[in-house]
Amino acid sequence: MPIAHNLGFPHLGAARELKRATEGYWSGKLSLPQLLKTGAELRASHWRLQQDAGIDLIPSNDFSNYDRMLDICALVGAVPKRYGWSGGPVDMETYFAMARGVQSGGRDLTAMEMTKWFDTNYHYLVPEFEPGQTFRLSSSKPEDEFQEAKALGIHTKPVLIGPVTFLLQGKARTARLDRLTLLDALLPVYAEVLSRLSAAGATWVQLDEPCLALDRTAPERAAFVRAYRFLAERAPKVKLLVATYFAGLDDNLPTALELPVAGLHVDAVRATGHLDTLLQAWPAGGGREGKVLSLGVIDGRNIWKADLAAVLRQLETAQERAGAAQLWVAPSCSLQHVPVDVDLETRLDSELKGWLAFARQKLVEVATVTRALREGRDSVAAQLDANARTLAGRRTSRRIHNPAVKQRARGVTEHDMRRTSPHATRRKKQLRLPVFPTTTIGSFPQTAEVRNARKRLHEGKLSPAEYDAFIAEQITRTLKLQEELGLDVLVHGEFERNDMVEYFGEQLEGFAFTEHGWVQSYGSRYVKPPIIYGDVSRPKPMTVRWSTFAQSKTARPVKGMLTGPVTILQWSFVRDDQPRAETAKQLALAIRDEVMDLAAAGIRVIQIDEPALREGLPLRRAEWPGYLEWAVNAFRLATAGVSDATQIHTHMCYSEFNDVIRVIEKMDADVISIENARSGSELLEGFKEYRYPNEIGPGVYDIHSPRVPSTAEIVQAVKRMQEVLGDRQIWVNPDCGLKTRGWEETLSSLRNMVQAARQLRPVPAAAAATD
């Protein structure tokens, strides 16, 4: 009989209960037992929700207090030495120190590196490995949470990130190291975990191996086989489901079929063109061992209702091959990438809301198609009919299509995407700044006072005029602080903005917004991605008012701050009825209009942030050229209309940028600021082999940690840059915006940063003579 199961559920809570509890614990307002109690309550609620939705096999250990890769580090004792862990269970103090760093009690510890999880906007903590790394069981979390659910009468499927993906997604910080040489040391700990889960009563355990869906070498494929042979031998009583997702298996399919496991999960949403190949290769009836085929047919990465009739056709074909007893139905991946429940949205209009499915609704879709497989389509005829009507209504809705927008996009030429002169010529016409110019990335702390003012405006307790006066006061104060610090290029602080994507989407046609559509970005940081449902255009200027106000308050240059078209695309839930490239072009034209208006208003430095450009890369390298062509063209289209005198900046963060460093040059930004601090200056290694021609600001300190870097630390960071970049190329800046930080640490860090830049500047000849 087909089984409905789930790979993972969002752990934040419908009202972001986990965020409040975690930050309350960090601030000392909540105790550790109170934090743990909140987690237990959320887990129980989520298990029951999935049970009520009709899910037969519910996951456990998919919950995390910060990050699931960090959970595995704690589980196997992969704690970097600097945190002073002496063995035994990894306590919560050590766990959060690894995530956030520590600067108190005489300790000054940097956090672990953070980067994007495959091609999502979720950030994970990168495991750190060293030669001779040892592992030991150091947490009972998987077993504890299985027992929690069991006490509630719910038999769950514990979920772990698989051993090979854990190693491949980690890094060696101190020496070149083949991470897979650590596999033999790691596998016994995984086997021990599986044996404990089996002894506790677990029947199935899900091991997530998304790395198996990427380009892999022969030794890497062999490592998967070796790992699962070991686990099958050492923990034979528990059934293993290897879950792959985010891409199709393609040339890794033979390896996946060779694994001695009880089941294999495949992302049928991302592997649409390869499902026939999988089914042809799948042993009839699951083979002699009766291997389970789990098909992820409901999109776990987007929020549109599925075409249930089309999904059923896929499943019925698969059932003929795999057999009814060996077919499982699931979302394509964990549902952590979508909001919890669309029923919480009371302000969305009924037509648009009817097109959407969040995590809870996706589980119902899984249960519906599973029931159809078990009992026949007639058993869910009403649901199928309602779904068909909804999809037909969406296809023909007038709100989706704007002929003028489509016509303008069709008229774009190569000339529209090219600056008038090359960078070397433009540079001579742009701002005259000292060597090692200092700036920030854009945002300044969004304090409780700022958030409360925005809330009161929405509640009608603050008039628009009063709110504008408050924002003007914040901007004026922040400009003065930046002048006192000695920054060379200022920003207005973005106090009027709720989010770097949502703020723009609210002012563009073709966007919709939720009240409760939160998804996790990292740790306790959550975002509400906008919904792009139709053709995109800009009805009127979006940022000119506050940018020109800020510039009127200072003689120093103030950057106009925009979010780029690719990032708006990547950080939104995007319509699935046209190619993403076409939506990106529409967004680029809208941002181009804003860039032109800012330049016409006298803003001489305009930053168009593209932190998501790298994360949008397809997971398979063969598909990179096509994506990079339209993504880079979108940025160029947005920025190329201004004169040579306008300095175009862009910003990127928390991705593996060495993969695309040569492509970044093609974007032709005058200045790029880029994350560098948390990755241990790994980015600079790429510049040893490649001479980047334009100006660049590799981040000199990590803003996702509350610690304050010393002036000496920042001086050393810039000196490392000087080894691979010319002095006139280097900008000095943090590695990301300061929105999530407090004022005290922000001002202390920036004061040290400016002082470091001044120490490194050549002493003027006259001053040297006087001395």
Any idea which residues carry the catalytic annotation?
704
Distance CA 302, CA 300 (A): 6
Q: Tokens representing 745?
A: 């640490």
Strands (E), 384-530: 509-512, 519-522, 525-527
Per-residue 3-state assignment (H helix, E strand, C coil) for 642-682: CCCCCEEEEEECCCCHHHHHHHHHHHCCCEEEECCCCCCCH
Distance CA 53, CA 212 (A): 30
Distance CA 651, CA 697 (A): 9
For residues 593 and 538, is the Cβ–Cβ distance under 8 A?
yes
108, β-bridge pairs = 103
CA 382 to chain centre: 37
For residues 683 and 676, is the Cβ–Cβ distance under 8 A?
yes
Cβ partners under 8 Å of residue 146, min gap 6: 60, 61, 156, 158, 197, 200, 201, 202
Give the burial class of 509: count Cβ atoms within 10 A of its Cβ; 0-12 exposed, 13-18 middle, 19 or more buried: middle
Backbone dihedral region of 208: left (phi > 0), alpha (psi from -120 to 50 degrees) or beta?
A: beta
Q: 117, 118, 207: which is closest to 161 by C-alpha?
A: 207
Burial string for 748-762 (b: 16+ CB within 10 Å, else e) reads ebbebbbbbbeebee
Distance CA 135, CA 489 (A): 48
Q: CA-based angle 743:745:750, to the nearest 5?
A: 95
> What is the DSSP track for 37-78?
HHHHHHHHHHHHHHHHHT-SBEEES---SS-HHHHHHHHHT-
Distance CA 662, CA 681 (A): 18
Distance CA 475, CA 511 (A): 28
Q: How many helices (H) and strands (E) does the chain have?
A: 28, 24
Distance CA 712, CA 701 (A): 12
